[in-house]
Homo-oligomer: A and B are copies of this chain.
Amino acid sequence: MTQDDSPPAAAQPDRFAHAREAQAVALLEDYVEMIGDLMAELGEARVADIALRMGVAQPTATKAVARLKREGLAVSRPYRGVFLTDSGAELADRVRARHRTVVAFLVAVGVPEEVAELDAEGMEHHVSATTLRAFEAFLAEKG
Q: Which of A13-21, A65-73, A75-83 forms part of the interface with chain B?
A: A13-21
A23 within 8 A of B: yes
B109 near A17 with CB under 8 A, answer no
Assembly stoichiometry (copies): 2
B122 near A110 with CB under 8 A, answer no
| A116 shortest CB reach to chain B, Å | 7
Report if A18-B52 is in contact (Cβ < 8 Å); known contacts: A115-B130, A130-B115: no
CA distance A116 to B116 in the complex (A): 19
How many residues on chain A are close to B (CB under 8 Å)?
44
Identify A126's interface contact among B112, B123, B137, B138, CB under 8 A: B123
Identify A22's interface contact among B54, B111, B122, CB under 8 A: B122
Contact with B along A1-30 (1 / 0, CB 8 A): 000000101011111111100110010001
Chain B residues near A97: list those with CB within 8 A.
none
8 interchain residue pairs of minimum CB distance: A13-B55, A122-B126, A19-B122, A110-B134, A19-B121, A123-B126, A15-B121, A111-B134
